[in-house]
A and B are shown apart, each in its own frame.
Chain A
């Protein structure tokens, strides 16, 4: 993009250990502008850890992580906040503040570009409130703006979380198992909404998923992780389910049916 290359994400030899376990064991990943990438793999394969390194929620033991031209591994304070503002994140557990209204939860997405502390809808500028309502309208929940967030269903809460992410006006979107806590019907709707919006806005997406079907249906490129290593990296079109399933087969064939 404007950084001389169009590499949005450049990760090289990323190593991260938590206690005894190596969550990431030399991961490399390059993502260019506008790509829709799925990270797949069994639980504990390092998907979440990799994602959390991309906006500095985790710091690597070694290796480099460059996102939007910023060295995330060493960025701190103001520089880190400036980067996080440009990177939206959607979480498995939605992570809304349940007691607050839907609208206020969306407004928190604008905190990064706002120098002032805020609390309560009326403390926000009118322009931000208008924008938040427009984002809510886009995800189809404008009529719920003044309801408590925890009075919504799981699928609706995740849509509110997407509106909060949009409020950030991000360039890169990270989604950590965005539909793993939802029933299949809501999951399909949330995936549909998330990827349609990202396509419309030409956003780059890195999304971890453990359902193979969703990865094949919505993304253009699949990166498979196992035991903290990249074991597969191919365009979705060139993949068949059998090749994908092998990502889930353990190195030593002990377990049976460890699949989708």
Chain B
């Protein structure tokens, strides 16, 4: 760009009259205007289709109040059993995550640009990682329960396989971010490729791998509650049973335990992360005596955590039956189950698949629309850059943290119990809306904290009011990312028909739960495949939209 025009005197530039008053149309402008309009339009349409109105909500609210009144006071019929099952769920979480970490670490080394043995291996490893991420843990769980029967092992395998998707992707990025120079320096000492990896690359990648793993444990614990409900054992099964027998006092008791443990797991994961990632730096020089490495605080913490982690993982694997001698039976069962799931049998569901899919889309769209609206408000109030007062921010943050600690299965069970299974679609939509609001709120809050203060000051300096300033600073800077969050929410909600399936809410959900129970697995595949096709379309739309909006 030349700066020559700066000195151009008044009027010598292109005549102001030649500039049109309306911007020329472009794909980006059309997308920027069309997306919110289409999103809101489809959302309202979906809300109407599902049948959520003020009357229905008021009725549901009364029913929820009545339900909670019936559930008061919470009890635990057999606290020892409940806690044993919580322990089972924890074991399942840790064992699944541990298996995923081991597999993902190997895949990451094979997939990372700087460590891969060759392009063919790299593509194969990347494909495996993507495949694991695309298939939901629930689908894995249904499959392994069919293959191995009810028990914690299907849960471990489901969590493990699905987690490979995220862990593999992030581990690969961590390995690729490692400084190659150190690897070369190690190789220059005459070390072979394995030592080069262990001494040159691994030490650099480990901190971010540990952080990701701890985050994944947190996610997996919530997920394992859900898996319990399809027969993977643990506390999820108890929760579903209590709701099934309309034993609401027991259900509330178990719910409280679950939410408390979710909080606990998150707190421990956060604490460990700050301890491990921040603990390595010793202050001052430790004394050196001979060839012994001194036990500084950082080294002690690292060793205790590493050996302790391995021990806990081994115990968890043993407790949940994920031992090497289970491998042959797992392989044989999986092969047999594959023939049960394939080829898909569309015949029994052919006439309901059309309206059923429309309902799934309507529920997902309505829940996304309502949840994104709620999450947007809550998230902005929770962001330092937007919140009108620190107290408001604290309240919004607390509300988000509380909402996020309630597993989605619990929300669905709660709403279905209150609204009745006949109103399953409305109940499911309400539950998913709350769930969406919780995670979209968190994403929006984190995004909004990155708003640059400069443009905000500039706009305030023109004498703009609070609302005017918010429109420009929030929409002006965050539009592409907010659109991305809303599409991600739609993606999540489309997949969560599986959760509705467990409790039998909605037409497809009801069909899914019936066919799972009657072991018609080829019909289950016929129900799941079309929804995957829709999810794929949403992903394609969101990719092109992201490109257009930037």
Contacts of B463 in A (CB 8 A): 81-86, 111-113, 168
Complex Cα distance A101/B465, Å?
A: 21
How many whole Å from A143's CB to the nearest CB in chain B? Answer: 5
Q: A137-B15, A156-B3, A192-B6 are in contact. Are A114 and B458 (CB under 8 A)?
A: no
Count how many pairs of residues, one from A and one from B, have CB atoms less than 8 Å apart in the complex: 146
B457 contacts partner chain A, Cβ-Cβ < 8 Å: yes
B304 contacts partner chain A, Cβ-Cβ < 8 Å: no
B475-A119 in contact (CB<8A): yes
Q: A119-B475, A152-B1 are in contact. Are A111 and B459 (CB under 8 A)?
A: yes
B10 contacts partner chain A, Cβ-Cβ < 8 Å: yes
Task: Please indicate which of the listed interface residues B3, B471, B479 has the most CB atoms of chain A within 10 Å of its own CB.
Answer: B3
Q: Mark A110-142, 1 if CB is under 8 A from B, else 0.
A: 111110111111100010011001101111111
Q: A155-B6, A190-B6 are in contact. Are A108 and B459 (CB under 8 A)?
A: yes
A140-B1 in contact (CB<8A): no
Instruction: Mark out the residues of chain A between 154 and 180 whose CB falls within 8 Å of any chain B CB in the assembled complex.
Output: 155-156, 159, 161, 164, 167-168
A168-B462 in contact (CB<8A): yes
Instruction: Mark out the residues of chain B between 70 and 128 whose CB falls within 8 Å of any chain A CB in the assembled complex.
Output: none
B16-A134 in contact (CB<8A): yes
Contacts of B462 in A (CB 8 A): 84-85, 88, 108-112, 164, 167-168
Contacts of A91 in B (CB 8 A): 454, 457-458
A108-B461 in contact (CB<8A): no
What residue in chain A is nearest B16 (Cβ atoms)?
A: A137
Contacts of B33 in A (CB 8 A): 120
Contacts of A116 in B (CB 8 A): 468
A258 contacts partner chain B, Cβ-Cβ < 8 Å: no
Interface residue range, chain A: 35 or more
Of the stretches B20-28, B39-47, B309-317, B500-508, the one at the interface is B20-28
Contacts of A167 in B (CB 8 A): 462
B477-A99 in contact (CB<8A): yes
Instruction: Mark out the residues of chain B between 416 and 464 whose CB falls within 8 Å of any chain A CB in the assembled complex.
Output: 452, 454-455, 457-464
A55 contacts partner chain B, Cβ-Cβ < 8 Å: yes
A189-B460 in contact (CB<8A): no
Q: Mark A32-59, 1 if CB is under 8 A from B, else 0.
A: 0000000000000000000000010100
Instruction: Mark out the residues of chain A between 49 and 94 whose CB falls within 8 Å of any chain B CB in the assembled complex.
Output: 55, 57, 81-89, 91, 93-94
Contacts of A185 in B (CB 8 A): 3
Those 9 A-B pairs whose CB atoms lie nearest each other, nearest first: A112-B463, A85-B463, A189-B6, A111-B464, A95-B458, A95-B454, A84-B463, A137-B16, A97-B476
9 pairs across A/B with beta carbons < 8 Å?
A83-B463, A91-B457, A94-B454, A95-B454, A99-B476, A122-B22, A140-B8, A164-B458, A189-B6
**Given A91-B454, A111-B468, A168-B462, 4 additional A-B pairs, CB 8 A:** A57-B457, A89-B461, A108-B459, A192-B6
Q: Chain A: residues with CB nearer than 8 A to chain B?
A: 55, 57, 81-89, 91, 93-101, 103, 108-114, 116-122, 126, 129-130, 133-134, 136-143, 145-146, 152-153, 155-156, 159, 161, 164, 167-168, 185-186, 189-190, 192-193
